Amino acid sequence: MRIEILNTGTELLLGNTVNTHAAWFGREMFLFGLRIARQTTVPDGEAIREAITESISRADVLIVTGGLGPTSDDLTREITAEVLGLELITDEAALRSLEGFFALRGRPMAPANLKQALIPVGADVLPNANGTAPGVYIPPRLNGRSSCAVFLLPGPPRELYPMAHAEVFPRLRALSGMETPPSVLELKFTGIGESDFHQGIDAALAEIPNLEFGYCAHIGEVDLRLIGTAAALEAGRAIALASFGNFLISDDGASLEATVVRWLSEKHMTLATAESCTGGLISNRITDVPGASAVFTHGFVTYANAAKISLLRVSPTDLETHGAVSETVACQMAAGALLSSGADIAVAVTGIAGPDGGTPEKPAGTAWIGLATKGAPPTAFKVYHPRNRHDFKLAVSQAALEAVRQRLVTPQP
Question: Cα 327 vs. chain centroid, distance in angstroms?
Answer: 34
Smaller CB separation from a second copy, 223 or 251: 223
Pairwise CA distance, residues 137 & 398, whole Å:
44
Q: Starting at the edge strand that comes first in sequence, how are the strands of the sheet with 345-351 ordered?
A: 271-275, 345-351, 366-373, 379-384
To the nearest whole angstrom, how small is the minimum distance from the Cβ of residue 127 to a second copy? 22
Site for a second copy in 220-279 (CB under 8 A): 273, 275, 277-279
Smaller CB separation from a second copy, 93 or 306: 306
301 binds a second copy (CB under 8 A): yes
Query: Which of 57, 210, 246, 293: binder of a second copy (CB under 8 A)?
Result: 293
Stretch in the footprint of a second copy (CB under 8 A) among 84-92, 162-170, 173-181, 280-288: 280-288
286 binds a second copy (CB under 8 A): yes
Strand partners, 346: 272, 372
> Is the sign of the CA dihedral 183, 188, 194, 198 positive or negative?
negative
Strand partners, 137: 124, 151
Pairwise CA distance, residues 292 & 151, whole Å:
40
Residue 412 in contact with residue 376, Cβ under 8 Å? yes
Site for a second copy in 127-166 (CB under 8 A): none
297 binds a second copy (CB under 8 A): yes
Site for a second copy in 308-337 (CB under 8 A): 310-311
**CB hemisphere CA count around 66 (13 angstroms):** 22
Pairwise CA distance, residues 65 & 70, whole Å:
15
Pairwise CA distance, residues 188 & 365, whole Å:
25
Stretch in the footprint of a second copy (CB under 8 A) among 33-41, 100-108, 237-245, 248-256: 33-41
206 binds a second copy (CB under 8 A): no
Smaller CB separation from a second copy, 229 or 297: 297
Residue 394 in contact with residue 281, Cβ under 8 Å? yes
**What kind and span of H or E run contains 390?**
helix 389-409
To the nearest whole angstrom, how small is the minimum distance from the Cβ of residue 317 to a second copy? 20
Site for a second copy in 8-27 (CB under 8 A): 11-20, 22-27
Query: Which of 87, 202, 288, 320: binder of a second copy (CB under 8 A)?
Result: 288
104 binds a second copy (CB under 8 A): no
Stretch in the footprint of a second copy (CB under 8 A) among 31-39, 79-87, 135-143, 371-379: 31-39
39 binds a second copy (CB under 8 A): yes
To the nearest whole angstrom, how small is the minimum distance from the Cβ of residue 14 to a second copy? 5
To the nearest whole angstrom, how small is the minimum distance from the Cβ of residue 89 to a second copy? 31
> Is the sign of the CA dihedral 293, 296, 298, 299 positive or negative?
negative
Q: Could you give the string, one character per residue 357-396, with x where binding to a second copy holds by CB under 8 A and - elsewhere?
A: x-------------------------------xx--x---
**How many Cβ atoms are within 10 Å of 119's Cβ, its own excluded?**
27
Query: Which of 97, 132, 146, 302: binder of a second copy (CB under 8 A)?
Result: 302
Residue count, binding to a second copy (CB under 8 A)? 75
Could you give the residue ranges of the DSSP H alpha helices within 4-61? Answer: 10-14, 21-30, 47-58
Stretch in the footprint of a second copy (CB under 8 A) among 160-168, 238-246, 285-293, 401-409: 285-293
Report the b/e string of 305-333 with b at 16+ CB within 10 A.
beebbebbebeeebbeebbbbbbbbbbbb
